[in-house]
Structure 1
Amino acid sequence: MTEVVRMSAASPGVAVVCGDRRVTYAEFAARVNDLARWLIAAGVGPDVAVGVAMPRSVEMLVAIHAIVEAGGHYVPLDVDAPLDRVRYMLDTADARIVLVVDGAAPAVIADLPEPIRVIGVDTWVPIDPATPPIADAERRAPIRPDDAAYTLFTSGSTGRPKGVTVSHSAIVNRLEWMREWYGFKDSDVVLQKTPITFDVSVWELFLPATVGATLVLAEPDRHGDPDHIADLITTENVTVIHFVPSMLATFVDVLGPRLSGLRSLRAMFTSGEALAAATAQAVLAELPALELHNLYGPTEAAVDVTAHHVLPGEATVPIGVPVPSTTTFVLDARLQLVPVGVPGELYLGGIQIARGYASASALTAERFVADPFGPPGARLYRTGDLVRWNSAGEIEYLGRTDFQVKLRGQRMELGEVEAVLASAPGVVHAAAAVVDFPAGAQLVGYVSPDDVDLDAVRATVTRALPEYMRPTLWVPMAVMPRNSAGKVARRALPRPEIEVREIVAPETGPETEIAAIYADVLGLDRVSVTESFFDLGGNSLAATRVAARVAQTLDADVTVRDLFDTPTVRGLANALTGRGRTRAQLTARPRPQRLPLSTAQSRMWFINQFDTDSSAYNIPMGLRVEGAVDTDALRLAVLDVLARHEVLRTVYPSDGAGPYQRILETDAAAEELDFAVTDDEAELAASAVRGFDVSSRLPIRVRVRTDRGGGRAAEDRAAHSDVVITVHHIAFDGESSPVFVGDLLNAYLRRTGAGIDAPLPLPVQYADFALWQREVVGDVADPGSPAAAAMAYWRAHLAGLPAVTDLPMDRPRPAVLDTTAG
């Protein structure tokens, strides 16, 4: 960096503007070189960390440049952070010197114990403008490209911040491509308003000095004040500025028509979070001559690694294309490239990748992985960002993979929801979160300001998102909480309050019974019969539970649609008046001599009999148990589960009338059960992909292997035991797994003397469901049955569809179907 950032004492320009003070390049270079020599004498050199705890000031800028000039790397400190956090950051970075403004050390720094050395920086003392630059021979060692330039701390999932250490070569590449791509010149005036604890500050701090441009410093703690920023732009003729998108939205909203008066701006950069198209287009409409560039990059990749030039009329804003000397890969969970349009995680490679996390080798190894596409030793950084390539060859940001949530069985990216909320009329800031309530989780939408038209926001959401991705609770906020980087402070988002209005008591028996069900499902003491179930915190999943319980209590047909149509207790009670049952309840039924299959089982049976060697519908479960497993007790426990669940001890032979269910008695199932103990690890895997013939064999097999770990007798205890249980889909699905494992654990503990009570017998078995389904749906051969009507409907609606759906593929379609993964 010292070769790129050359501050010439002969430069006639102004290097820094801070309030009324103007510092020439001659003075600035002299002060940087003077302090750098002092730091070298104090032991600062390559890979020596130096803390910086200063407000935005000339002293701050001189200190940072001097540390780099001396060969060290600077560590920005948040002076408002607790003492314990600051000490942790200094210890992690191994910084033993902290620079502060002379005579104005922050309280948290003054409280630091030995051996931390606190040094004051004074830029008001006289300085010789002819102070020579630092020669390489003066440094404690030559600066190498891989030496650290800075360590920035970001929040960590463990609750402790993680320090990202970035090399000279990484940040030099970052400065050089930005300088060349966007034509920076000595006539530019750059506004420095980003806190130095945020990585965007890096190019603001150093890029102007690469071309001799002027850097204007915003007042401390006023970088989020739109009026102050606008005044600086106007008075100092600022040409280049950066905004976090949420701050830009506020800036546009506060300035309104005054935005068009900021004509000195030639280039505006955004990064740090997704840029809403509405915000971008509002800026371009007021400043048509402005170049707006949306950049993207994590702290772990030297600030920014992709860029997109935003044009008027764009409906979405991509994060763009990779910058020089960087690589971007969109990969799936197996590190395979995904096709255009398919979401995947973004992996970054190239020269800008950080060295890693300070004093955290395990975390570094987890996030910085071997590059499968690069030369030996090359690395990729796992961003955790969900993206996709668009048809124009640019990357679109979809959200965080760690913002991926599952709500009522559906996966969603909160970032996608937030992007739609932010696009709604009048919304300046938006956030989304899943919050747990007694009735179940709810998707909550947070919007600001608090006078936003929520009906308009709901309409926007309805147009853009499927129902399961639409917030069901709303929290309008006067001001959205933000952290020091200008991003939404998610932990500060308030929990929604369910407003309970005046209680209107039930007046009839059905109202009383329905109100009791509402209150129980919602976790409330009581409910008003005129209050909507959904306004009280209910959701579609909870509505399903309510409908089933009301149907059972009132012995009437009740559907979830009834609850959506009439969500109040009184409304639902009135709607159900006089309604009885048209559909038989699902209860245990007398078993006929010939038990039919359910419709789903019929499909599974046909596919299975077509190829009994296929493992396409196997559902394997792998369990690792610490220590040795009592295999005799485990076999008996499996048989206990089979005794409890008839479907697991059922075979499906056929006769002239087709397939039927034959449920084995427990003793017969014990003889048929495919249970084996093996020493062969390969057999564990093979058992999971071996087919079933469900017409004659039980749809379940079990393999157990104990790893003895080797060694002498004292070490000959089992290290662990692996249990692989494979069940065919004709008797099992994804939701069955936790039920099966829970029942198996209960049975195993009982079989090994744990004294646990056996569960109560199941009131309904799957065979009862199959009988009930056939009774309700009827036979497709009967033209008057619901089954026949459904068949006719789908045949009509699917008529004419292509035999093959040509979706984008990452490899050629095989001539013969192969269900093998990989």
Structure 2
Amino acid sequence: MDATSDTALHGRFLRGVQLAPRNDAVRVGADAIRYEEAHERALEWAGALSGAVAGPPGAVAVLAAKGVRAYVGVLAALYAGATVVPLQPGFPVARTRRMMRAAGVSAVVVDEAGWAQLPELLAPDPDGGPAFTAEGPGAGLPVLAPGCPAGTLPGVVRIEPRPAGALAAPRPVRPDDAAYMLFTSGSTGRPKGVPISHGSAAHYFRLQDERYDFTPDDVFSQTFDLNFDCAMFDLFCAWGSGATALWVPPGAYRELPAFLAEHRMTVWFSTPSAIGLVRRLGGLAPGALPGLRWSFFAGEALTCRDAADWQAAAPGSTLENLYGPTELTITIAAHRWDPERSERIAVNGVVPIGRINGGHEHLLLDEDGKPAEREGELCVSGPQRTAGYLDPGDDAGRFLDHDGRVWYRTGDRVRRIGGDASDASDGELAYLGRLDAQVQVAGWRVELPEVDHALRGCEGVTEAVTVDVATEAGTELAVFYTGSAVPLSVFARRLRPVLPQGMTPRHFWRLEEFPLNSNRKTDRGALRARARELLSESPGPRTADVRATGTTGSRTTSTPTT
């Protein structure tokens, strides 16, 4: 097969080379690299990777922070015909070691941060397990470490790229070959590997090409780490159109309008949590982001309020809410925001996730696992579905054989919107929350997103997250919110008309901002842990100012009357 075919994921970069060879493919701060230069460097690195292992590299890890080397490393692994395994140097070493073992990594591309981690990574596990090796006991791990300190490390075979060893062209791949592998959190605490094939990626990006009008003049934000699948949207939509992917440093959020204007950014993509951050920092004034043509949000529920505020700040931008688990190749559904229609069809104040991507089928399952007509767990079958987890033992419960097809069970509850073909909303889906976001409290079945929605209607509340906490008295609901301090009596008056008594939270804590995880989503796990800590200190109902971590501040105690 021709490596430049539409099936190969890296074929999109080759298309960018043809469209705009002298455009910057990536910019990270003051560091940048043009398409033509990145192509030549990736061929050179791919040759070094190929020459360092027996046979074609099976999986190549890129253990590097965001930087030109990380992006070229991804491209070089693809050019070598390998499966890219993006890893985060900031993750615990034991977790990274498990992921490398599971993926069968045969070589690693590192920057300084990754290089510094190698000695601990290659040491024996503290629990007594063997050190990581690529070829078995005693073998060294081939490591490509451009720009890192001279010398080598125990257990490392350092490989050096040379122009004479460069590949003449990217190696051919088959549609079923894995292009990249990402790891998601498993219920057992062991990361689950998700291989995504070149064929699945090709289907996905063909749909994006049909839906959007990206050009070489566009500048895409890069807010996601490379081990988060949404980063693949940024990179390969940009690269397939000859556009530039621009890293957005954390400090940019302080003056986001100025940052976007300075860099002439036209395409924004982030989690919805970024909207609240920009709002708090004063960057969401009407018309503050005039240069954006497209705005995308994914990774967590997008509220109508957030969408409306961002649209007002970026009036020339088309805004879309994207939805999809890693197992379905980046995103599997999209809803285009319409201020007149979207709020009308929203459920719990959350923007719909829209229609499922073309070429796929979907079904809903009720609580008994039987097909449902209107509401239930979303299951999807089609070309973007992964063939299964890296460890087949992880497949149980996540894949369903039904009606002659294999379906991926998302674990998300959705509701069909619209009743017939004459309804413009027909075929769209509303997101109701995770199945595990449904909890039992004093016999009540409670949907946490419904409580969040009710709380966002309280005067003074900007954002709200409800968590369930196990106590000696049973499961209780606790709320963290941002905004101004709100007395319990105000919460009680607001919630009494909309929530049954059994669904009314008993604890309310105000934060300056929500904690975010490494993918910049609201870290609900951290909030749940903080709630447990606070309740252990003082179990009575209360409203209080607290920090995400640390001690409670001033507190007023009262019991809401419902």
Scaled to the shorter chain, the TM-score interval is 0.7 to 0.9
RMSD: 2.9
Q: Name the residue aligned to 1:134.
A: 169
Q: CA deviation at 1:440?
A: 3.4
Does residue 285 (structure 1) correspond to residue 312 (structure 2)? The answer is: yes
Q: CA deviation at 1:336?
A: 3.5
* Native 8 Å contact 1:147 1:167 kept in 2: yes
CA distance in 1, matches of 2:46, 2:459: 52
CA, structure 1 residues 66+441, in 2 after alignment: closer, same or farther (shift >3 Å)?
same
Q: Name the residue aligned to 1:298.
A: 325
SS at match of 1:75: strand
CA, structure 1 residues 61+458, in 2 after alignment: closer, same or farther (shift >3 Å)?
farther
Q: Name the residue aligned to 1:75.
A: 85
SS at match of 1:388: strand
* Native 8 Å contact 1:272 1:296 kept in 2: yes
CA distance in 1, matches of 2:522, 2:372: 30
Equivalenced residues, count? 490
Q: Deviations along 1:565-590, whole A, 9 cap, x unmatched?
A: 9xxxxxxxxxxxxxxxxxxxxxxxxx
SS at match of 1:8: helix
Q: Name the residue aligned to 2:3.
A: none
- AA in 1 matched with 2:389: Y
CA, structure 1 residues 259+22, in 2 after alignment: closer, same or farther (shift >3 Å)?
farther
CA, structure 1 residues 259+155, in 2 after alignment: closer, same or farther (shift >3 Å)?
farther
CA, structure 1 residues 366+43, in 2 after alignment: closer, same or farther (shift >3 Å)?
farther
Structure in which a larger fraction of residues adopt strand: 2
CA, structure 1 residues 435+105, in 2 after alignment: closer, same or farther (shift >3 Å)?
closer
- AA in 2 matched with 1:31: R
Q: CA deviation at 1:426?
A: 4.8
SS at match of 1:211: coil
Match of 1:206 among 213, 227, 236: 236
Q: Name the residue aligned to 1:236.
A: 263
* Native 8 Å contact 1:37 1:134 kept in 2: no
CA distance in 1, matches of 2:55, 2:298: 32
Match of 2:145 among 112, 116, 120: 120
CA distance in 1, matches of 2:409, 2:431: 15
Q: Name the residue aligned to 1:111.
A: 120
Structure 1: runs of 5 or more not aligned: 502-530, 536-563, 566-822
Q: Which has the higher contact order (CA 8 A, sep 6+)?
A: 2
* Native 8 Å contact 2:289 2:313 kept in 1: no
- AA in 2 matched with 1:356: G
CA, structure 1 residues 79+105, in 2 after alignment: closer, same or farther (shift >3 Å)?
closer
CA distance in 2, matches of 1:463, 1:292: 33
- AA in 2 matched with 1:367: R
CA, structure 1 residues 214+458, in 2 after alignment: closer, same or farther (shift >3 Å)?
farther
* Native 8 Å contact 2:271 2:521 kept in 1: yes
SS at match of 2:513: coil
- AA in 2 matched with 1:445: V
CA distance in 1, matches of 2:387, 2:295: 29
Does residue 266 (structure 1) correspond to residue 296 (structure 2)? The answer is: no
Q: Deviations along 1:643-671, whole A, 9 cap, x unmatched?
A: xxxxxxxxxxxxxxxxxxxxxxxxxxxxx
Q: Which has the larger radius of gyration?
A: 1
Match of 1:412 among 446, 466, 470: 446
Q: Name the residue aligned to 1:476.
A: 510
Q: CA deviation at 1:450?
A: 6.1
CA distance in 2, matches of 1:469, 1:45: 60
Structure in which a larger fraction of residues adopt helix: 1
Match of 2:467 among 433, 442, 445: 433
* Native 8 Å contact 2:256 2:283 kept in 1: no
SS at match of 1:61: helix
Q: Name the residue aligned to 1:3.
A: 11
CA, structure 1 residues 453+60, in 2 after alignment: closer, same or farther (shift >3 Å)?
farther
Match of 1:398 among 421, 432, 436: 432
* Native 8 Å contact 1:327 1:349 kept in 2: yes
* Native 8 Å contact 1:307 1:321 kept in 2: yes
* Native 8 Å contact 1:8 1:26 kept in 2: yes
SS at match of 1:382: strand
CA, structure 1 residues 134+284, in 2 after alignment: closer, same or farther (shift >3 Å)?
same
Match of 1:330 among 364, 373, 378: 364
Q: CA deviation at 1:481?
A: 1.8
Q: Deviations along 1:242-295, whole A, 9 cap, x unmatched?
A: 121122222233234546222110111011111011111111223222111001
- AA in 2 matched with 1:475: W
CA, structure 1 residues 299+464, in 2 after alignment: closer, same or farther (shift >3 Å)?
farther
CA, structure 1 residues 454+144, in 2 after alignment: closer, same or farther (shift >3 Å)?
farther
- AA in 2 matched with 1:134: A
Identity of aligned residues (%): 33
CA, structure 1 residues 2+438, in 2 after alignment: closer, same or farther (shift >3 Å)?
closer
Map 1:350-749; keep pairs closer than 5 Å. 350-358=382-390, 360-370=391-401, 372-373=402-403, 375=404, 378-391=405-418, 392-393=425-426, 394-422=428-456, 424=458, 426-449=460-483, 451=485, 460-493=494-527, 494-495=530-531, 496-497=534-535, 534=559
CA, structure 1 residues 451+334, in 2 after alignment: closer, same or farther (shift >3 Å)?
closer
SS at match of 2:175: coil
Q: Deviations along 1:371-394, whole A, 9 cap, x unmatched?
A: x23x5xx32101110111011221
* Native 8 Å contact 1:73 1:148 kept in 2: yes
Q: Name the residue aligned to 1:318.
A: 352
* Native 8 Å contact 1:239 1:266 kept in 2: yes
TM-score (norm: length of structure 1)? 0.56
* Native 8 Å contact 1:252 1:259 kept in 2: no
CA distance in 2, matches of 1:210, 1:147: 20
CA distance in 2, matches of 1:267, 1:426: 31
* Native 8 Å contact 1:386 1:401 kept in 2: yes
CA, structure 1 residues 126+105, in 2 after alignment: closer, same or farther (shift >3 Å)?
closer
Q: Deviations along 1:318-374, whole A, 9 cap, x unmatched?
A: 00001122222212245543223xx2000011111113222x21221431222x23x
- AA in 1 matched with 2:173: I
Match of 1:176 among 206, 209, 217: 206
Does residue 147 (structure 1) correspond to residue 177 (structure 2)? The answer is: yes
SS at match of 1:51: strand
CA distance in 1, matches of 2:489, 2:295: 33
CA, structure 1 residues 331+133, in 2 after alignment: closer, same or farther (shift >3 Å)?
farther
Q: CA deviation at 1:109?
A: 2.8
CA distance in 2, matches of 1:271, 1:405: 24
Structure 2: runs of 5 or more not aligned: 1-8, 123-131, 134-140, 149-159, 419-424, 541-556
Match of 2:227 among 197, 207, 212: 197
TM-score (norm: length of structure 2)? 0.80
* Native 8 Å contact 1:27 1:127 kept in 2: no
